[in-house]
Amino acid sequence: MGLLYALESIRTPVLDKIMSVITLLGGELFFMVIAVAVFWCVSKREGYYLMIVGFFGTVINQFLKILCCVPRPWVKDPGFTIVESARAEATGYSFPSGHTQNAVATYGGMARYTNKTWLRVLLIVLTVLVAFSRMYLGVHTPLDVGVSFVVAAALVMLVYPLMEEADRRPAVLTRTIAVMVVCSGAFVGYLYLRGDTGVTAEDTANYVSAMENAWKLTGATLGMLIANIADRKYVRFETQAVWWAQLIKLAVGFGLLLAIRAGLKAPLIALLGGSAAIAGGVRYLLVVLFAGCVWPLTFWWFGRLGRR
């Protein structure tokens, strides 16, 4: 806690606002937007790379959270204060840091992929800033951040050769995604077998959150597997288009994707008898199928825009 108290002592209103903005770059929404934008407009291979690194990092992160049950810094030390604007997003157990994992997976993955030195440096700096912001805001300890950073960085390096092999043998990618489905399903099974062992309302809330996340991962990876097979055999979409067509593709596509993500939540929970966890899995399955199968069917048309 020594470093956190040192950072607490140098907080200012301006720095609080800057760090609050920086920390948003490690959120789930930013990861989803960047990964899908790369997948749709830059490179399917790089998009899959970011999603695979993000998936394995998230599974490890969620498993460690529910296994270790480490409380947040201000719970461990009631005398410690945090930047209040960060409290709403700082739910669940503290160890390890989800935002740091997302940042390393997203920006670290992009840094590993790019050949431009200036962009690589910028992305690495951004990754470090997100990790630092979690400690500055007081929502994570150095151990939370450090473990997430090391695990995600290792995944960035380990998955890259796998993607190179997938270029030579596309079936490798399909098998990797199939392993992801099995891993996420196993995580769901583990949580059911473990049960809610918490003794406080906070422990129960964290267990419920972990179960919902596990089902979402299962739905998302199953959607990725179906989308990958469908693209290899039938869709075969291309990412190329003129810049303004890419902007239209992204704007309309993301609008529809977010509408599906938000609009199906309540109806699916009602349809599935109030099970928010299973409904989340079905919802993320449909979201990924839209992103990987349905919307790409329009890309041939966007690719023709602007051609003479």
- For every one of its 308 residues, what pLDDT tens digit does the chain have, with 9 covering 90 and above? 788 989 988 899 999 999 999 999 998 888 989 999 999 999 999 999 999 999 999 999 999 998 888 888 988 888 888 888 888 787 778 889 999 999 999 999 999 988 899 999 999 999 999 999 999 999 999 999 999 999 999 999 999 999 999 989 999 999 999 999 999 999 999 999 988 776 677 778 888 888 999 999 999 999 999 999 999 999 999 999 999 999 999 999 999 999 999 999 999 999 988 889 999 999 999 999 999 999 999 999 999 887 75
Same domain flag for 196 and 124 = no
Same domain flag for 259 and 248 = yes
Same domain flag for 227 and 240 = yes
Same domain flag for 71 and 111 = yes
What is the tens place of the pLDDT at every residue in 76-96? 888 888 888 888 787 778 889
What is the tens place of the pLDDT at every residue in 113-157? 888 999 999 999 999 999 999 999 999 999 999 999 999 999 999
Q: How many domains does the chain contain in total? A: 2
Same domain flag for 72 and 129 = yes
- For 95, residues 6+ apart whose C-beta sits below 8 A from its C-beta are 64, 65, 68, 70, 141, 143, 144, 147
CA distance 269 to 275: 6
Best CA proximity match to 54, nearest among 212, 197, 221:
221
User: Which residue, 139, 168, 197, sits at the end of a domain?
Assistant: 168
Same domain flag for 3 and 150 = yes
User: Which residue, 168, 198, 224, sits at the end of a domain?
Assistant: 168
Same domain flag for 110 and 190 = no
CB-based burial label for 121 (10 Å; 0-12, 13-18, 19+): exposed
User: Which residue, 129, 152, 168, sits at the end of a domain?
Assistant: 168
**Residue 25 lies in domain:** 1-168
Same domain flag for 26 and 161 = yes
CA distance 285 to 214: 12
Best CA proximity match to 65, nearest among 46, 29, 90:
90
Same domain flag for 197 and 159 = no
Same domain flag for 180 and 245 = yes
Q: Within its chain, how far is the Cα of 282 from the centroid? A: 17
Q: Are 35 and 45 in contact (CB under 8 A)?
A: no
* DSSP designation for 297: G
Same domain flag for 90 and 235 = no
Same domain flag for 1 and 60 = yes
Cβ neighbour number for residue 25 with a 10 Å cutoff: 19
